[in-house]
Structure formats: C-alpha cells, structure tokens
C-alpha cells in the first residue's frame, strides 16, 4: 500500500492549485441535551428532525451531554435522557461525550482567542456572567463593554469575554428559517467565554465541541437562533470550519403555551409511565412537523425519506397528545 500522499508526488501529480473536488464529507449532526431536567416532547421533536436528517443522508448522530452548568445539573438526568432517546428509537452512533470532561480543550481555545486579542478579562458582577454556562434560550442581556479597555475592578475575580467586532454581526442562511438577518448592535454584545468562577460558557464550549466532533449540521430549537451569530464569530476567530444550522420552530401545547421542561406532564418519561407507546409519540411529533397528515401512530422507519427541512413549519406548531 503506498504511503498517504505518494500519489500526489508521483508522475501524475496534479498541477499546483488543482483540486480533485470537494472533500467527501459525511453528514454528522448531534443531540446536545442539558441534563437539567427531563426530556420533553419539544426536545424529542427537534431530535426527531436531527435523526431523520442523519439517517436519510446515511450520516451519523453524535450524543453530547451538555453538563457544563454544574449547579443546574440534576442528578440522574443524563441517564434519563439517554434512556428516553433509546426508548423512542432515536439512536446515536458516537458518544455520549460529556462537556464536563473537556475543560482542557476549551482552555486551549480561550488561549487562542486571548493571543489574538479577541478575549478580554471582565470583573463586572452581573447576572449574565452567572448565567453564561447555560444555553441562552431566547434573549441574553447585552453587555455594555465596561471592561473592554481593562478590568474596572481589578481586585475581583475575572470572567473572560469575547470582543465582538462590527464584522461579527452577520446574518446567516438557515436550513429551516431561510435568510436570518444580522443581529442589531444592541442584540449582540461582548459575550462571556468563561465565567469568573472558572466555568466555561455555553457559546465557547458548543463551538469547540461541534468543530472537534466534525459536526456538519446543527439542528436545534429556534430559541437558540440568536446564539448562532455568536458561534459563527467564534468559528471565524478560531479559524474553524462552521457547520450548517437548522433551527426548528418550537412546538406549543393545546393552550398555545411553549413546551417547557417544568411541564412534567409532557415529559417522555411520564408519557411512557402512563402507557403511551413510542409510535404514538412519534405520530404526534410527525404530524406537528407536517410529515404526516394525522397524528396516528407511526414508526421511525415509516418516517424515513419524508423530511424536507425547507418545508418545516417556520412558526410555532401545535403539539398535544390527546389522552
């Protein structure tokens, strides 16, 4: 077997600049649940989309447990999430990778940003610093830049923030939502990379993980759409290749309320305990995604080949399991 690269040096070496074509990239997506509570119908719905994307493309699904926000991690929740995915048939090919084991890698990335002048220490004591380890569903408070020129209270423990430049406020093309406009300056301020207590922030960790795991498409709930320009700015600053993004509009219950973890009645574990079958849950999810005309029970195998991202409902869809 010739050594790798031997062909390129042989008599038929390509002319400089010649490319054989795009590198073969296998589709890779991930489930990235936070073990802060139980899996509910909304998560299952988004993960069904991710799973179908991967299976229809002959690609791979990675499981990542986003357990960075230690104070909010619930004992046993990670095991429950894994069990619920398995029970629904939403299987994965790699992982679970636990973010709590990855601090050294996040530190390396932070070093790169520090060396490039893109990270600065911040001594402000603000609620947003305290919350930075969790994914900011919907809006995150905007930082006014107080410590940009140097820590204003140098005796205090320091967080690290990303220095956002005007060029970072860019829109992007979303697989479900289409063209997402650039964020307004007052919607994307310097965000936290590492909190003063040493915990790495969601934005940095998720970017490093998605890049290291070779994720080619991130499929997640539309409540994280405002995080994407931040993550795209980090990919550029770190010199990493960004994946595609697809944000699935959230589901609402029969009363039009957003499905939330605290709504225990709609957790997968409670539905399962009440004797509801995976096929009935999949039927309700598929119908709310417009994949089937009715919410009749359906198997994952029957849903293969039916998903077209660009035809998913762009706004909230009703999802309820009639008793």
Binding site for ligand GLU (CB under 6 A): 32-34, 66, 135, 206, 220, 224
3-state secondary structure of 219: strand
Nearer to ligand GLU, 248 or 319 (CB): 248
85 vs 220, beta carbon nearer ligand GLU: 220
**Whole-angstrom Cα distance, residue 24 to residue 265?**
44
Give the span between the Cα atoms of 222 and 137, in whole angstroms: 9
Q: How far is the CB of 261 from ligand GLU (least distance, A)?
A: 9
Scan for tokens 């960075």, then name that residue: 68
Least CB distance to ligand GLU at residue 59 (A):
17
Contacts of 42 (CB under 8 A, 6+ apart): 221, 250, 251, 258, 259, 260, 266, 319
> Could you say which DSSP state residue 72 is in?
G
Classify strands 159-162 and 217-221 as parallel, antiparallel or unpaired.
unpaired
**Residue 249 or 298 with smaller CB distance to ligand GLU:** 249
- Least distance in Å: CB of 112 to ligand GLU? 21
The minimum distance between CB 140 and ligand GLU, in angstroms, equals: 13
Smallest separation, CB 164 to ligand GLU (Å): 19
Q: Please provide the DSSP assignment of 119-175 as one string.
A: EEEE----HHHHHTTS---S--PPP--TTTTS-SSTTS--EEEE---GGG---EEET
114 contact partners, CB below 8 Å, separation of at least 6: 160
Q: Which is nearer to ligand GLU, 147 or 219 (CB)?
A: 219
CB of 18 to ligand GLU, least distance (A): 38
Whole-angstrom distance, CA of residue 81 vs CA of residue 94:
15
Whether residue 96 has a cis bond before it, omega within 30° of 0 = yes
How far are the Cα atoms of 24, 32, 123, 192 from residue 86, in angstroms, in the given order?
30, 15, 44, 34
CB nearer to ligand GLU: give 224 or 238: 224
Q: What angle do CA 279, 280, 283 make, to 5 degrees?
A: 85
Q: Residue 34 contacts by C-beta under 8 Å, 6 or more apart in sequence?
A: 65, 66, 67, 69, 72, 73, 134, 135
Q: For ligand GLU, which is the closer residue by CB, 66 or 84?
A: 66
Q: Tell me the closest approach of the beta carbon of residue 100 to ligand GLU, in angstroms.
A: 13
Least gap, CB of 185 to ligand GLU (angstroms): 24
Q: Which of 23, 32, 77, 67 is nearest to 50 (CA)?
A: 32
Cβ nearer to ligand GLU, comparing 66 with 168: 66
Task: Specify the residue, 106 or 120, whose C-beta has the smaller distance to ligand GLU.
Answer: 106
């Amino acid at each position: 077997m010739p050594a790798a690269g031997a062909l390129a040096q042989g008599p038929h070496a390509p002319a400089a600049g010649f490319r054989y074509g795009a590198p073969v990239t296998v589709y890779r997506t991930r489930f990235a649940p936070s073990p802060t509570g139980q899996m509910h119908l909304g998560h299952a719905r988004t993960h069904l989309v991710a799973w179908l994307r991967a299976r229809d493309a002959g690609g791979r699904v990675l499981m990542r447990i986003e357990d960075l926000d230690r104070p909010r991690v619930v004992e046993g929740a990670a095991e429950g999430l894994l069990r619920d995915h398995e029970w629904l048939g939403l299987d994965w090919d790699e992982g679970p990778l636990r973010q709590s084991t990855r601090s050294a890698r996040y530190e390396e990335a932070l070093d790169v940003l520090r060396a490039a002048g893109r990270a600065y220490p911040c001594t402000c004591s603000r609620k947003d610093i305290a919350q930075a380890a969790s994914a900011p569903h919907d809006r995150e408070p905007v930082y006014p830049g107080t410590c940009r020129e140097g820590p204003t209270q140098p005796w205090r423990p320091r967080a690290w923030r990303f220095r956002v430049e005007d060029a970072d406020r860019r829109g992007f093309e979303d697989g479900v939502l289409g063209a997402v406009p650039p964020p307004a300056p007052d919607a994307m301020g310097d965000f936290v990379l590492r909190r003063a207590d040493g915990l790495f922030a969601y934005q940095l960790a998720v970017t490093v993980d998605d890049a290291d795991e070779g994720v080619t498409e991130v499929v997640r709930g539309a409540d994280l759409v405002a995080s994407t320009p931040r993550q795209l700015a980090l990919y550029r600053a770190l010199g990493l290749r960004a994946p595609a993004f697809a944000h699935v509009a959230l589901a609402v219950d029969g009363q039009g309320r957003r499905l939330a973890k605290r709504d225990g009645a709609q957790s997968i574990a409670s539905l399962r305990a009440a004797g509801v079958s995976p096929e009935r849950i999949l039927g309700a999810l598929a119908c709310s995604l417009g994949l089937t005309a009715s919410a009749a029970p359906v198997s994952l195998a029957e849903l293969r080949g039916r998903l077209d991202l660009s035809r998913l409902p762009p706004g909230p869809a009703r999802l309820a399991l009639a008793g």
